[in-house]
Structure 1
Amino acid sequence: MVLSSFAQYAPWTDRRGKLSGLRLGVFLLLLLPVCRIFYDLAFGPVFPEPYEQALHESGTWAVRFLLLTLAVTPVRRIFSWNRVAGVRRMIGVSVLFYALLHLGFYAASESWNIVKVASEVVLRFYLTIGFTALAGLAVLGATSFDGAVRRLGRNWQRLHSLVYAIAILGLFHFFLQSKSDVTEATLMAGLFALLMVYRVMAKAGLPLSNVFVLATCAALGAIGTAAIEYAWYALATGIPADRVFLANFDLSTSIRPAVWVAITGLCACGAPVLQWIGEQAGGKLRLRRA
């Protein structure tokens, strides 16, 4: 009886308490980064700052999983895959977990001097931004369960729309702590821009099952990524922004974040094509059987 009750709340089961392959697979994938982080801490190379790598990795995964949470709705619409909505809460809770882990590693790097950690959060702007994002994630995590959804009613959706502002704060924190090399931060910001373009298109009534709409989204996402990168280098660093922008058109040295965002968006264009091919193949098979 106890095991049956637990099964209903286990992350790898559906609402009926039955094992879900999708949920189990996502749950294991969400655990892999933290296992790797602690493995490296225990058995990896020794660094002068032992928690620096773990601090960086935990924060990066928090941002990645936050974007993955925001990608659930576009993926559901583009691929007509409604089941994926069932893992959104699990991914969202993992974002809070990795963000708390990120804070924990920062406290560990400061020898668990909580007073110093608190003063640093107040005095250092990029830490203030990061902690504000963490506080927002904590609120969303505390209200992500069925009981909170029922109690809040319509206000639940309004509260959880704060995830977009939290994502912007998290990405800004990522940029600030990345210093001069913001390649990965730019890529994450570009993917966020692409996801927001998908939402704008859907709000405008344009179908995300249309190849031309998806191609337009890919182009706009890439343009937005290049604009974010240019603005950062122009406003926050002494590195020539023009040269960085022109590097997007030179694929002989490296592929810039704007190009990766374009590739990601164009890959999504294959979904309607594959669905059309599947429908045509299914129709021919039915005709043969008839």
Structure 2
Amino acid sequence: MPLTTTGDLVGRAAAARGAVGAFNVITLEHIEAVIAGAELAGRPVVLQISENTVEFRYGRLLPLARAAVAAAERSSVPVALHLDHVISDRLLRQAPDAGFSSVMYDAARLPYADNLAATCAAADWAHAQGLWVEAELGEVGGKDGRPPLDAHAPGARTDPRQACAFVADSGVDALAVAVGTTHAMTERTAALDHALLKRLSGTLGIPLVLHGSSGVPDGELTAAVAGGISKVNVGTALNAAMTAAIREYLAAHPRAVDSRTYLAVGREAMARTVASLIAVLDPAPGA
């Protein structure tokens, strides 16, 4: 079916008090696995390509983006394409022509005033192109000169009052908040600050996004969705599933050289992971 938009998927999820799964893809096998897992679960899904992945692919966005679009158009479930953790304005401006309906503009590393100014400029441009815009707000630095904490640094928490002002002034469509997750976790041990999430959800009036969700147990994810999270980003869990499956296959087949054999195993492991996580986020059948 034709590409859908991230804004539509997140909006519908938020209205139903559910969440849409958004999975970071690096290779064609990732793309195929995410769509296969979503089809198995019978749910919509967001394919995400990050700026780090673009850098890995020799700085070229279009080859992977076009593969994602082609795969999405052959999917039996709705699929949207999202450009994730964009720092470069040059990359941001490639999004509309590459099939993306949304971007996550990441200026959270900057002091608050600079983050706001950069995000405002990015959102103004992106909205003029019809893009849905997600931003991120970590923990603002203190008066003693502490730098701002990245939204997923240990101990970082988003302040509801600061977040309310940021959303109102920037005009973004969704906000990724710091409530206890950390990027690149390989064990599912994160404990979320649900009281803070409840305050943020009750204050901001726009969809909230959970980054670093690979380290969050199923029960915590369920509670996060109930508490107001409408989009859940996952990346490391796919890579962990793929790597473990390939490792096991090669250990059992030490003479294997055909990459299709072990990539197929890795792709299937990722698809199972996607299906399992999507079912946690939205247990009701249907897209």
TM-score, scaled relative to structure 2: 0.29
Flag the structure with larger Rg: 1
Name the one with the larger helix percent.
Answer: 1
Of the two structures, which has the highest relative contact order with CA contacts closer than 8 Å and spacing of 6 or more? 2
TM-score using structure 1 length: 0.29
